[in-house]
Structure 1
Amino acid sequence: MATNGTGERLDEGDRLLEQQEIIGQLTDHSFVSQKEFDENYEFQSHPPPKLKQIVTNKLGKCKCSGTCVKRFIYSIFPFINIMKNYNIREDIGGDIVAGLTIGIMHIPQGMAYAMLATLKPVHGLYMSFFPVLLYFFFGSSRHISVGANSVACLMLGSAVSKGIDSLSGSAEKSGLVSLVLGNQTVNQTGSSEGNHSEYQTTESSVADDTAAVSDEELELRLQFAMSVTFLSGAIQLLMSIFRLGFITEYLSDALISGFMTGVSCHIFTSQVKHLFGVKHGRYTGVFKLVYTYRDIFKNIGTANYVTILLAVACIASLYCTSRFINQNPKLKPKMFMPVPIELIVVVLATVISYAIKLEENFDVAVVSDIPTGLPIPNARGVSRISGLIIPDAFALGIVIFSIYISMGKMLAKKHDYEVDANQELMAFGVSTIICSFFTAAAPSVALSRSIVQERVGGKTQVAGLVSCCLLLVVLLAVGPYFRTTPNCVLSSIVVVAIRGMFLQVLDLKKIWNVSSIDFFVWIVACIATVLMDVDLGLGTAVAFNIIVAMCRIQRPNACLLGHVPGTDIYIDMNFYQKAREIPAVKIFRFEQSLFFLNKEHFRTLLYKNTVNPNTLKIAQDKREKKLRKLQKKEPIIDGEVRNESAPEREHLDIELNILPDTDLDIVDVTQRNTLHVDFHTIIFDCSLWSFVDSMGVKVLKAVIGEYKAVGIKVLFANCKVGVREMFEKTKFYDTLDQSNIYVSVHDAVIHSIQAYSFKNGANISNKEGSPDEV
């Protein structure tokens, strides 16, 4: 039995009366087809321009007027507009305070993060000076803090390690040279002292400790680091030229969050040797962390207890100050600026190390010499460019820009201004390329520094200039005084800084409640990054994210629509109980554009929600064959055929399952040469189709022909201009007359009801009797 909108059962008479009422409402209205609508309102199509026309239009716009040149200069150098509107009285105070605060943070963070890139701490100071100065001229964000970033430095360090390992591997295979890496020698036969594994590439008694490796390896590291930096900047610049800023949209928030959490595991692991003073091999590739921790636990007995105590004291001081003072909601509003605990810890540890001679007396590793002055431009940035580093450079450039764009847009929205993704790509590209010639590693954006810069009152990039002045003083005069800074102190700063990245695990519950798909993207990104190397983990996460997106596009939802009484609205009957199905009409909506990826899924859902015409056609053919056999058995008495096989006919219909499986049967199927189905028309609601490709059109032609073969008519509604133009190009109207496309679903419904009512003399009948008889 049928039910009404409130779930109450209707008897047969009430059901037929309701159907008559619905049809009566619809037959009282007029309708208009898409063709008539276009003619009445003078529709004019716009064919795509030809290549010659595009080039002509572009050249026509290129007028070398003064205004055009001025606009171009302003777009390349956004700081001109910012400085024109700069209010010295209101802005200078906040910029000076923010610049000094950020400059103080740059010193310890730059030195610490340089160790992640397997470079000397001084290169971290260069990274905090040159990129900030260059970004002032080319960047459009007023609040981000450019410079050293833990994720970018770790990815750079991973690329450098692979470059060094490739050289050592080729040296082993050639058997011509002997490469000295720290205290480990790879001899001519390719054998080496120490532990082996297929993932191990190089082992050193002090691993990546830059204070103990040879000058030759330090130079190689610097060459590879600058080459990767140069190439990542070139990639960013090319992306800007070709307006490819949208590529970062493939990195979803869940992917970035999971990836950065996985990277934090690598960052922490890279600092364990400095925190404990233990030795381990250097590994790259799959299970890198597994083999690293194997070495750490194997050599834990050689740990330096003075180093451990100093690291614990530093971590406790950094965490407690940050957690209970700088982030205290009661103290924060009263503080002029956050307590520069990183700088305080570095200065105190440096003084203590110098006073009691930690390096000589307790074998504590220290930073060693820091040269004064600025580096001379050199060609290290192009000395090691090869196909080996291209994947790492591309991944580095994309990740750096993704971190920036997420932070930059957030701060821009908060302070009501815009940042142009392509302009920022150019700013980072130019800055990174120039920095590669001054031995400054690939710059990125530090989230913590950016938040601090905005919170303490920074207004514009002038804050960056102030921090550059402070860094310049350090580079020209103060740098050598940090010679005795213990490495474990810098590692402590890194470990505390990545605490927030680890805490992203707590967001998993929220992500699961919002979207289970994002949850699995996060899990895959994190686990892949932890188990593999950083670049492999990122590649795996991006591939998984794209596959998930393609699956969601390939298998969209579909539904049947019902009519809202008294309106021209049609909604999903699965969610709205008061929606009424139009008698003898199926309204099908496919909730995605129709193209080659989902064409078969479209056909499957269409048959599932309506009826499979091929199955019905086969059943009809079987029925006709058996009916012909029964007719031969009919006896003829007095020239008339006696219908003695009626029970057999009824049993045959039930056996072949071609009778309607619902109690809705208002169409007189005996008047049509078709099967016993409870509808005569299918309407496609195309409102969600932004485009249809040639494969999609082929599927539409096929299903229209299949339904036509069993007497079911197909109509279209809400077709966008692009879809109709595709129909025109593919000669779709040879299969479906253009008059069967309607402006709205309501128009198509009215047409189908009125046309069928007129054809059958406005007599809506039922196999049990007419409405009057009921």
Structure 2
Amino acid sequence: MGMDIKKNLTILQWLPNYKRTNLFGDVSAGLIVGVLLVPQGMAYAMLAGLNPIHGLYAVTLPLLVYALLGSSRQLAVGPGAMVSLLVGAGISSLSPDSYLSYLYYTITLAFLVGLIQFSMGVFKLGFVVNFLSQPVIKGFTSAAAFIIGFGQVKNLLKLSFPNSNHIQTIFSGIFSTIDQTHWLTMGIGLAGIVIIKYAKKIHPAIPGSLIAVVLSIVLVKFMGLSDKGVLVLGEVPGGLPGFSLPTFEMNIWLSLFPIALTISLVGFAESFSIGKTLQARHKNYHINANKELIALGMANISASFIRGFPVTGGLSRSAVNDQSGAKTPLSSIISAGLIILTLVFFTSYFYYLPYAILAAVIIVAVSSIVDFKGPLELWTKDRKDFYMFMVTFLGTLTMGIVLGILTGMILSLMLVIYRASRPHMAQLGRVPGTNNFRNIQRFNNLEINNDLLIVRIDGPIYFANVDYINDKINQWRKERTTPIKMIFLNMESVTSLDSTGVMTIQSWVKEWRNNDIDLYIIGAKGPVRDVLVKWHLIESIGEDHVFLDTHTASTFYEKNIDAKSLQRLGPYALQSNFKAK
């Protein structure tokens, strides 16, 4: 039992062997990331449609929970731009009748996201995220970045138009109200963007967002800019978050489930890819997909108990955490401690914080998400993936965040099914003067016996692709100028065979032999041979029609000798032990 606790609580793996030499890096990184999380958390709460204080709540307990359970030692967990936008889009679509209802739905959403991620981790479903292909993720995140960025123009310029996650609606709102621009607010927002970006260029660890926050608060307070129209946060509640519980009403769960599933997958995909990148730099620990799901799931469940909202690993803060010297999750514990101190003692100082500065924090954060080089590279190297990128990108821009990512996920699955149903196949010919056989489409001047068709299948043979394989073989048969007398089915690259595949091969044997065409099976692997034996397909084909390699089969065919004389070629010529693994 003790071993199980140590296995699941990763803090018990690194804390007992903690090195004092790591302390300075962990403390400094924890303080820097904690400082970064204050404006980031507040800005992302605003993006999610919540009061900014909930962003600080979301970076207390969830950080501590992830530090206990997470397998990454540098990943900094908290609210993220994309997940916050998904929260805002998803909850808004339910049309809550009041802010309290909105908050209630958000708390329930965090719980549901955590439950989905935790369950996926327990049942070892971390591989599911692989169905979100990189072109889909990049297309979605690039479009989301556009929506997030342009959506913040209203706070940057102090315009008044409804929130939306459709780019056309946002543009319409901007252009119809641009004449209402508040120039003083715009000046503060643009100055904030310059400070944040310039600080990052000097050194990623410099908290540019905090500098912008402090300067803007001082400027607004002492120059009385709020009286001149600059919109500020106003009263920010102080103290630790109160305890909250999600609703367990099934109709609300059903309404929230699609957006919860989307956030669960997107949030995990984002966190895991960042964690893998960081782990590759250190190599002194292993990041585990299922442990990450459990850790993120518990972090999100904990967020629902303290009036928080869904959290995930963040690229910018994780990079800052790593570059500032973090070696263990102690840095996250210190960050959470700093946020708690802020909640208890310093929230009153945010009264004069301009909304334009929070907009600047968000705009700078998402500006690095847009991928311009990716689609250009895909256009030249992989058109299918380029089209997937563009469909997801345009779908997210025009149909909204939720429908966009769902479209991308469906496209990913369709592409997996399409590729699985069309395995690579090749006709083989002999390289002159050798015993090697190669693809006749890729090599010139190969020796081809007109009576013989050698087919190599690269992939499993199963229900989804047997018709394609059959059509391809028939196409190659028709292309021959003389009738085929023999087909070699090279199965060296066949990884598995299901019942539909077996029955299809049985039908081939019957059909081809009725047309005076014989069949040899070549190079089948142990698991595939086991299936052939179980289904008695070996008896149908004949043990003397199964060979280890194409050269041996070809030699047998060309010399037209029987199975007994073939055995004289050597003990490995005839593959007779079909049950060998």
Q: TM-score range by the shorter chain?
A: over 0.9
Report if the CA contact (8 A) 2:164-2:170 is conserved.
Answer: yes
Counterpart position of 1:52: none
Taking the aligned partners of 2:457 and 2:267, their CA distance within structure 1 comes to 39
Aligned to 2:180: 302
Q: Distance in 2 between matches of 1:77 and 1:407?
A: 21
2:5 counterpart of 1:124? no
The 2-side partners of 1:356 and 1:249 are apart by: 53
1:19-62 deviation line (CA, Å, top 9, x unaligned): xxxxxxxxxxxxxxxxxxxxxxxxxxxxxxxxxxxxxxxxxxxx
Distance 2:539 2:219 in 1: 88
What secondary structure, in the 3-state scheme, does the structure 2 residue paired with 1:586 have?
strand
Of 120, 139, 144, 1:263 maps to 144
Give the secondary structure class of the aligned counterpart of 1:243: coil
CA deviations over 1:709-768 (Å, ceiling 9, x no partner): 232211111112332233234343453223211122222112212226999xxxxxxxxx
Contact map agreement 1:143 1:461 (CA 8 A) in 2: yes
Q: What aligned pairs does 1:626-665 form with structure 2 within 5 A after superposition? A: 661=481
Alignment-derived partner of residue 218 in structure 1: 99
Structure 1 position 364 matched with structure 2 position 230: yes
Tell me whether 1:98 sits opposite 2:29 in the alignment: yes
TM-score, L = length of structure 2: 0.92
Q: Secondary structure at the match of 1:610?
A: helix
2:542 equivalent to 1:737: yes
Displacement of 1:445 in angstroms is 1.0
- Using the TM superposition, give the Cα deviation of residue 110 of structure 1 relative to its aligned residue in structure 2, in angstroms: 0.9
Whole-angstrom distance in 1 between the partners of 2:286 and 2:408? 30
Distance 1:381 1:122, change over 3 A: farther
- Verify the 8 A CA contact 2:58 2:306 in the aligned structure 1: no
SS of corresponding position for 1:498: helix
Of residues 436, 447, 471, the one that matches 1:604 is 471
**Secondary structure of 2:253 counterpart:** coil
The amino acid of 1:134's aligned partner reads V
Letter in structure 1 aligned against 2:83:
A
Q: Per-residue deviation at 1:107?
A: 1.0
Aligned to 2:71: 140
Report how far residue 112 of structure 1 moved: 0.8
Q: Which residue of 1 aligns with 2:195?
A: 317
Quick one: distance in 2 between partners of 1:386 and 1:292? 29
Q: Distance in 2 between matches of 1:585 and 1:442?
A: 62
- After TM superposition, give the deviation of residue 91 of structure 1 in Å: 0.5
- The CA deviation at 1:564 is 2.9
Which residue of structure 1 aligns with residue 287 of structure 2? Answer: 419
Are 1:377 and 1:438, in contact at CA under 8 Å, matched by a contact in 2? yes
Q: Report if the CA contact (8 A) 1:144-1:407 is conserved.
A: yes
Q: How does 1:658-677 map to 2 (within 5 A)?
A: 661=481, 677=483
SS at the partner of 2:49? coil
Q: Secondary structure at the match of 2:560?
A: helix
**Mapped partners of 1:493, 1:240: distance in 2:** 33
Matches within 5 A, 1:129-278: 129-163=60-94, 165=95, 167=96, 217-278=98-159
Instruction: Give, in whole Å, the separation in 2 of the partners of 1:313 and 1:237.
Output: 42
Q: Which residue of 2 aligns with 1:70?
A: 2
Q: CA deviation at 1:584?
A: 3.5
8 Å Cα contact 2:197-2:208 kept in structure 1? no
Is contact 1:230–1:382 with CA below 8 Å preserved after alignment?
A: no
Q: Does 1:480 align with 2:348?
A: yes
Q: Which runs of 5+ in 2 are unaligned?
A: 565-581
Report deviation, 1:464: 0.9
Structure 2 CA distance for aligned equivalents of residues 386 and 583 of structure 1: 65
Aligned to 2:307: 439
Aligned residue identity for 1:117: A
Partners of 1:381 and 1:436 within 8 A in 2: no
1:583 CA drift (Å): 6.2
Over the aligned positions, Cα root-mean-square deviation in angstroms equals 2.1
Q: Partner letter of residue 76 of structure 1?
A: N
Is the 1:159–1:228 Cα contact (8 Å) retained in structure 2? no
TM-score (norm 1): 0.70
Structure-1 separation of matches of 2:243 and 2:434: 74
> 1:380: how far off?
4.2
C-alpha contact 1:111 1:121 (8 A) present in aligned 2: yes
Q: CA deviation at 1:566?
A: 4.8
Q: Contact 2:392 / 2:404 at 8 angstroms: preserved in 1?
A: yes
Which residue of structure 2 aligns with residue 375 of structure 1?
241
Residues 544 and 563 in structure 2, CA contact (< 8 A), matched pair in contact too: no
Match of 1:410 in 2: 277
Determine the C-alpha separation between the residues in 2 that align with 1:218 and 1:580.
77
Helix, strand or coil for the counterpart of 2:368?
A: helix
CA shift digits 1:223-253 (9 cap, x unpaired): 1111111100011111112111111011122
**Residues 296-695 of structure 1: pairs in structure 2 closer than 5 A:** 296-323=174-201, 325-326=202-203, 338-359=205-226, 361-380=227-246, 382=248, 385-416=252-283, 417-502=285-370, 504-577=371-444, 579-582=446-449, 584-611=451-478, 661=481, 677=483, 679-695=484-500
- Please give the alpha-carbon distance, in whole angstroms, between the structure 2 residues aligned to 1:446 and 1:738: 59
The equivalent of 2:574 in structure 1 is none
Amino acid of the residue matched to residue 473 of structure 1?
A: L
- How far did 1:409 drift? 1.3
Name the SS of the counterpart of 1:388 in structure 2: helix
Give 3-state SS (helix, strand or coil) of 1:128's partner.
coil
Q: In the TM superposition, what is the alpha-carbon distance from 1:565 to its structure 2 partner?
A: 4.1
User: What's the secondary structure of 1:84's corresponding residue?
Assistant: coil
Q: Distance in 2 between matches of 1:122 and 1:283?
A: 22
Amino acid corresponding to residue 72 of structure 1 in structure 2: D
Q: Is the 8 A contact 1:228 1:385 kept in 2?
A: no
Secondary structure at the aligned position of 1:315 is classed as helix
1:605 Cα deviation (Å)?
A: 1.0
| Cα distance change on mapping 1:756 and 1:604 into 2, 3 Å | farther
Q: Larger C-alpha radius of gyration, 1 or 2?
A: 1
In structure 2, give the amino acid aligned to 1:544: L
Q: 1:400–1:445: 8 Å Cα contact kept in structure 2?
A: yes
1:720 maps to which of 525, 546, 550: 525
Aligned residue type for 1:440: G
Runs (4+) of structure 1 exceeding 6 A deviation are none
5+ residue gaps, structure 1: 1-68, 169-216, 328-337, 613-659, 662-675, 760-774
Asked whether the 8 Å contact 2:192–2:357 carries over to 1, the reply is yes
**How many angstroms does 1:576 deviate by?**
2.0
Maintained 8 Å contact 1:381/1:437: no
CA contact (8 A) 1:222 1:380 kept: no
Q: CA deviation at 1:129?
A: 1.8
Separation in 2, partners of 1:512, 1:326: 34
Partner of 1:210 in structure 2? none
User: What's the CA shift for 1:586?
Assistant: 2.1
Distance 1:439 1:757 in 2: 79
Distance across 1 between alignment mates of 2:132 and 2:58: 26
- Aligned residue for 1:386, secondary structure, equals helix
Check conservation: 1:239, 1:245, Cα contact below 8 A: yes
Residue pair 2:149, 2:367 contacting (<8 A) in 1 also: no
Give, as a single letter, the amino acid of the residue that structure 1 aligns with 2:117: Q
Q: Do the aligned partners of residues 283 and 489 (structure 1) sit closer, same or farther apart at CA in structure 2, a change above 3 Å counting?
A: closer
Q: Secondary structure at the match of 1:85?
A: coil
Q: Secondary structure at the match of 2:372?
A: helix
Q: CA deviation at 1:301?
A: 2.4
Question: In structure 2, what is the equivalent of residue 83 of structure 1?
Answer: 15
Q: Which amino acid aligns with 2:46?
A: M
Q: Identify which range, 718-727 or 422-431, moves more after superposition.
A: 718-727
Contact persistence 1:116–1:270 (CA under 8 A): no
Q: Contact (CA 8 Å) 1:563, 1:582: kept in 2 or not?
A: no
Q: 1:290 to 1:745 in 2, by over 3 A?
A: same
